[in-house]
Amino acid sequence: MIEEKRKNLSDWYLDVLQKADIFDYGPARGTIIFKPYGYALWENIQFYLDKFIKEKIGAQNVYFPLFIPESLLKKEKEHLEGFSPEVAVVTYAGGSELEEKLIVRPTSETIIYDAFSRWIKSYRDLPLIINQWCNVVRWEKRPFPFLRNTEFLWQEGHGAHYDHDDSLKTVFEALDCYIRIYQDYLGIFGYAGQKSESEKFAGALKTFTYEILIPDGRALQGCTSHDLGQNFSIPFGIKFQDKDMSLKYVWQNSWGFSTRSLGAIFLVHGDELGLVLPPKVAPYQLVIVPIYDGKNDSQIDEFCNIIYRKLKEKIRVFLDNREETPGYKFNDWDLKGVPFRLEIGQQELNNKILTFYRRDKRERFKMELDKFVDSFENLIEEFTQNLLERSKKLTLENTYEVENYNEFKKIMEEKRGFLKAFWCEDKNCELKIKEETKATTRCLPLTNEEKDGKCIYCGRKAKSQWIFAQAY
């Protein structure tokens, strides 16, 4: 809908990602292999997010087991019901049937909170905030690389707090970290907000999210941060003795950010030449392409090597001296989405002014090497902002404030996108809208101000405009 050249976004995506050496399919359905170039991207995101999690949220990293005894998963009813359709279960191991089945974790609330119940005894033990980087397995009906893998990588953070306010503070700190990663590092705009009752995490009081518009008009849930209230602490018996000697249950939260974010990067920024990777997390921030002429090849090589050594200290750089034509390499690096390129040939040999190229604008520019190195931080900041602006523009241009249901249906049929509409917050209206238009509530934006309105579906009184879209 939005970009002519990406009419078939799914084909474009699968084709480009495989050509760009991001991933390969795994042998089991719904699994993928992260190839070095794809995995490096995740490692770089991890680097920044991990720092945020430790410094801004105050969490410590841990690692819990992959297997969860079935009895633990059963302790919280809503959680169990939410996840049981998509869990993988080990029933046979070591040559015989297991006495108790083992769940391959779809998320780790239960196994972590079982430990919390033993670790937390006193108000002095609070808050307890931990985080783990791990894989989880969810048997999705229809897998799609990065956006819905059977197995995916993420971090999941878990906080146990003295009271609800303290827990909520962490809920919003986590959400804020995710928004900062998406906006300041990945250049991806979205709507931060609260999930509806039916869309929230199984077992949570409230779920907060960052909803991203994909150029085909559908919405991607970019992360989640849950206010768990005391829904888990009560069944798991996570209680502490307070100063006044009374026993109290902790207030909890959990929050996660996954490799789905890579899918968002590819889909939101990519163009007809291929990927456009945000420079702060791109595996290579710059690639040097030597352009040989058959006469001065050794001098060009030497010159490239000097520049390479100099850039290497501050920039993730790759020197591409493969035996391919320059045109081939240009296209290859455009496809792989490397943010900057430096072209070194006869013209540059005895010259201080070098030829650079930036992927987002597809423009060449001339600059002295030292100046480039000195202004690199600013350049990647500006590059990221440019991506964010584009993404924001796309999102705003495809956000429609609608007041009658026919218009709503028409937009969903013709172009999709985000639809902002009053909703009475009755589940039945939400369900009917989904059945009739495929759109579900994505979130109630945090910036929402309550006012008088009428539900887009039933016409009854409504106080807030929700964001609707077709979910990815």
**Contact flag: residue 472 with RNA (CB under 7 A):** yes
Closer residue to RNA, CB minimum distance, 346 or 464: 346
Q: Which residue has the tokens 């804020």?
A: 176
**Contact flag: residue 140 with RNA (CB under 7 A):** yes
Specify the 3-state DSSP secondary structure of 197: coil
**Contact flag: residue 308 with RNA (CB under 7 A):** no
User: Looking only at residues 348 through 367 of this chain, which bind RNA when binding is defined by CB under 7 A?
Assistant: 348, 355, 357, 362, 364
How far is residue 440 from each of residues 38, 217, 428, 429, measured CA to CA in Å? 31, 13, 12, 10
Bond preceding residue 339 cis, omega within 30 of 0: no
Q: Which of 6, 260, 269, 280 binds RNA (CB under 7 A)?
A: 260
> In this structure, is the dihedral angle defined by the CA atoms of residues 185, 190, 194 and 197, taken in order, positive or negative?
negative
**Contact flag: residue 430 with RNA (CB under 7 A):** no
**Contact flag: residue 343 with RNA (CB under 7 A):** yes
Nearest approach, Cβ of 312 to RNA (angstroms)? 20
Interface with RNA (CB under 7 A), residue total 64
Closer residue to RNA, CB minimum distance, 126 or 212: 212
Binding string, residues 177-206; x marks residues near RNA by CB under 7 A: ------------------------x-----
Q: Which of 5, 7, 10, 459 binds RNA (CB under 7 A)?
A: 10
In whole angstroms, what is the distance from residue 436 CA to residue 431 CA? 9
In whole angstroms, what is the distance from residue 158 CA to residue 131 CA? 6
In whole angstroms, what is the distance from residue 442 CA to residue 214 CA? 13
Nearest approach, Cβ of 333 to RNA (angstroms)? 8
Q: Which of 45, 186, 223, 429 binds RNA (CB under 7 A)?
A: 223
Q: Which helix (H) or strand (E) segment is 304 a member of?
A: helix 297-312
Q: Which of 44, 110, 131, 149 binds RNA (CB under 7 A)?
A: 149
- What spatial distance separates the first Cα and last Cα of the chain, rounded to whole Å? 15
Which span sits near RNA by CB under 7 A: 28-36, 61-69, 162-170, 231-239?
28-36
User: Looking only at residues 94 through 113 of this chain, which bind RNA when binding is defined by CB under 7 A?
Assistant: none
SS3 assignment for 358-413: ECCCCEEEEEEHHHHHHCHHHHHHHHHHHHHHHHHHHHHHCEEECCCHHHHHHHHH
Nearest approach, Cβ of 299 to RNA (angstroms)? 12
Bridge-based pairing of strands 464-471 and 218-229 is parallel
Nearest approach, Cβ of 423 to RNA (angstroms)? 17
Q: Provide CB contacts within 8 A for 16, sequence distance 6+.
A: 266, 270, 274, 275, 335
What is the CB-side half-sphere exposure of residue 362 using CA atoms within 13 A? Answer: 12
**Contact flag: residue 389 with RNA (CB under 7 A):** no
**Contact flag: residue 117 with RNA (CB under 7 A):** no
Tokens encoding 437: 């238009």
**Contact flag: residue 143 with RNA (CB under 7 A):** yes
Nearest approach, Cβ of 362 to RNA (angstroms)? 6
Q: Which of 222, 235, 283, 339 binds RNA (CB under 7 A)?
A: 222
Q: Which of 69, 82, 237, 445 binds RNA (CB under 7 A)?
A: 82
In whole angstroms, what is the distance from residue 147 CA to residue 443 CA? 19
Nearest approach, Cβ of 245 to RNA (angstroms)? 40
Contact 439, 469 (CB under 8 A): yes
CB atoms within 10 A of CB 52: 19
Q: Which helix (H) or strand (E) segment is 266 a member of?
A: helix 260-269
Nearest approach, Cβ of 185 to RNA (angstroms)? 17
**Contact flag: residue 309 with RNA (CB under 7 A):** no
Binding site for RNA (CB under 7 A): 10, 14, 19, 25, 28-30, 82, 85-86, 138, 140-144, 146-149, 152, 154, 201, 209, 221-224, 256, 258-260, 273-274, 291-294, 297, 323-328, 330-332, 334-335, 343-348, 355, 357, 362, 364, 434, 438, 471-472
